Structures are given as C-alpha cells and as structure tokens.
Amino acid sequence: MYVLYPRHHILFQDRANNTERFHSQKAQQLDIEVLEMDERHGFVESKAEQCWDAVAIDAASKFIVQVEVGPRTAALFERLMHRSAARLAHPQDLVLMTDGEACYRKLFPIVFGVPYLPPGVTTWVVLPLCATASPEP
C-alpha cells in the first residue's frame, strides 16, 4: 500500500491543479464532430465509499475533453455535458455517442440547443451480385 505523506500530498495536489488549469486554458474551441460520453464506477479507500467519474472524449483523436467526478446523479451528467459543450467550437453540429443513459437523452437538447435524435433502425438489404458480361470476340 502506498502512503502519501503530507508533503507528497501537497505536491500531488499542486501538480493536479496546474494540470487542470493548463487543460482549461488550452482545451477551448475544439473542432469535434463525434463526442463519446461515458461513466464508470469505482471506490475510494473502501467499497463503502463509491465514486463515479464521467468522461467526454473526442472519438477521432481520443482527446479527453472533460472529466467530472461525483455521485451518479443527474447533476454529474449535467456538469459533464455543460462543461464539454463550453469547450467545443461547434456544439450544435455534434454526434453524441453514449451508453444510452436516459440523462444524456434528456439533457442533450437543453445543453446543445438541438433536438436529440435517437439512433435510427438500420435495415440491411442484400443486393444481387453484379452479372458481368463477357466481352465478345
């Protein structure tokens, strides 16, 4: 088990604050077409202390746009979506990929200003093989 001593904790917190400040300054006006949002579950010190983190990632580059940590409530999803939208150059021209959590569907039109379009049903059509004509001699 790794123990953080008070001095190490201060250095770690200082580095985390600097990283967050740098990301906030540089990750602006992002030109993103497809944004992935997901959340995952974890524990802090014991299984009694549950923790969730929600993340928004550019699907093309895998650049982390925003991360939020907290209890799995509508407020967590709302923070993630609002703060992600604020970083985008064109938040209205966005495809949002999620795991289908209802909060995303509910908050999408409020945050991004455009209606939520559920995934379409794809119908596969089997086309006949092309018949190639043999050249005449």
Q: Which pLDDT tens digit goes with each residue over 43-98? A: 877 788 788 999 999 999 999 999 998 888 999 999 999 999 999 999 988 889 99
Q: 55 in a domain, yes or no?
A: yes
Q: 127 in a domain, yes or no?
A: no
Domain count, the chain: 1
Q: 74 in a domain, yes or no?
A: yes
- Between CA 23 and CA 65 the distance in angstroms is 9
Q: Half-sphere exposure of 80 toward its Cβ, with a 13 Å CA cutoff?
A: 29
- Residue ranges making up the domain that contains 48: 6-112
Tokens of 52: 């969730």
Q: What is the mean pLDDT of the chain?
A: 80
Q: 131 in a domain, yes or no?
A: no
pTM above 0.75, yes or no: no
CB-based burial label for 53 (10 Å; 0-12, 13-18, 19+)? middle
Q: 14 in a domain, yes or no?
A: yes
Query: What CATH number is associated with residue 72?
Result: 3.30.420
